[in-house]
Structures are given as structure tokens and as C-alpha cells.
Amino acid sequence: MENEKNTLVSRVAAHIAARFADESSGHDWHHINRVWKLAGRIARNEGADQEVVELAALVHDIADWKFHGGDDAIGPRQAEQLLRQEGASEEVIDQVVDIVATISFKGAGVRTEMKTLEGKCVQDADRLDALGAIGIARCFAYGGHAGRSMYDPNVPPVLHGTAEAYKAAKGTSLNHFYEKLLLLKDRMNTATGYALAQERHRFMEEFVERFLEEWNGAKDVHV
């Protein structure tokens, strides 16, 4: 990442780090920083524009619809305002805003195709941070934040067919694995993202299996 203190990327990073320092739902600065690093790595491997990728990664959660009444427009709008404030060119702003507007998962039956290689890199990085051990921790952190139960065997997962249905869903944290997280591996856009997703996906499968075994008492130790 850039070491200079006054580049566009570093100024945006400083703003986002301060803004999300105390966030506790799993969408904090540490999440954004991991996505920033992953997106940069993917961009280098795939030959994407590094500045656009890094800026989009930094602002991708600037105003997530989950925390703003389902409003999809607020994130792109705030991203545009920050980038313009920090002196980004109109071309860069347009590219980054389009990525922010499209990046989010919106339901199992909804395809959110990224238009550019840069968008594909950032979306893959964001989705990678929803997988593996970190993805599991973030899932339950957000579930607690949103007042969702961990699991209820009487509430089955739902593969939402529309963005509206996905946004309105109030399922359990474990259901989120079936409704989103376990679907992400096969929705990676880049060869780099797909390769990185494999082990994280396997780890989550093993976790869900173990969770259900322990829930049902199958892994109890008799002493």
C-alpha cells in the first residue's frame, strides 16, 4: 500500500480509518483494511488499475444499506462526496462510485455483475472477507448487532429471489451461511479470488457441520 502521507489513497484511508474505528458489527475499519489489502493483491495479480481498486475498497462500506434503512443510494453518494472533497478526478470518481453501487450481495437469486475488472477485484476481496474464520466471526458479530438468534431449527434458510426479499429477511445467523456465505466461492469473478476462496469455503463447511453436531449433542464428550 502507499506509504506517502498525502496521496489520494492515503487521505481517503485516514478518513475511513477514523470514521469506522469504533464500529462493532463486523463492518469496522479492520474489515475495510483487510479488503483494501486483499483487493490490492488481487489487482496486482489480475492487472487492474491499482488506484481505482484501492479507493473503491476503502469506500465500499462508507454507508452500507444495512445501516441506513435499506437505502442503496446513500453509499455511492457519500463515496462521491468524499472522493470529490479529496480531489479525485471525475473519471476515478465515476469508476469508484459504480463499484460501490454494485458490489453488495443482494440475494441468492440476484446477480450483481461487476462491469469492470477493478470492480471484480474489489467485490472478490469483500466476499473473501465474508469467508473463513473471519467470515464466521463477522457473521455472528452482525447477527448479535441486528438482534438475530444464532440458530433456530424451526426457521429454515431461504434462497431469496429478489433484493427486496433479501433486505427484509430476519433469519438466523446460521441460516446466513446457506443464504449467502456458502454461495460466494462459486461467485468469485477472478482466478485469484476463486483460488483464495477454496480453503476459506472448506473451513466454513466444516464449521457448520460441527456447529450442528454440537447443537444436537453429537459431539458431547462422556466423562
Residue 221 in any domain: the answer is no
Residue 40 in any domain: the answer is yes
Q: E strands along the chain, which residues? A: none
**pLDDT over 70 at 221, yes or no:** no
Residue 222 in any domain: the answer is no
CATH number, residue 64: 1.10.3210.50
Measured distance CA(71)–CA(217) in Å, rounded: 42
Residue 223 in any domain: the answer is no
Measured distance CA(215)–CA(209) in Å, rounded: 10
Torsion angle (degrees, nearest 10) of CA 31, 37, 41, 47: 100
User: Can you give the pLDDT at residue 2?
Assistant: 43
Query: Which residues span the domain enclosing 197?
Result: 8-215
Residue 219 has phi, psi (to 5 degrees) of -105, 15
Residue 147 in any domain: the answer is yes
Residue 72 in any domain: the answer is yes
User: Can you give the pLDDT at residue 124?
Assistant: 97
Confidence of residue 220 (pLDDT cuts 50, 70, 90): low
Q: Which residue pairs from 92-95 have beta carbons closer than 8 angstroms and sit at least 24 positions apart in sequence?
A: 92/51, 92/52, 92/55, 95/49, 95/52, 95/56
Residue 1 in any domain: the answer is no
- Residue-wise pLDDT for 44-86, tens only, equals 999 999 999 999 999 998 866 554 454 678 889 999 999 999 9
User: Can you give the pLDDT at residue 145?
Assistant: 87
Tell me which residue has cell 470529490.
Answer: 84
pLDDT greater at residue 5 or residue 123:
123
**193-127-135 Cα angle (round to 5):** 115
Domain count, the chain: 1
Residue 220 in any domain: the answer is no
Residue 8 vs residues 11, 83, 115, 155, 171: alpha-carbon distances, Å: 5, 8, 23, 47, 40
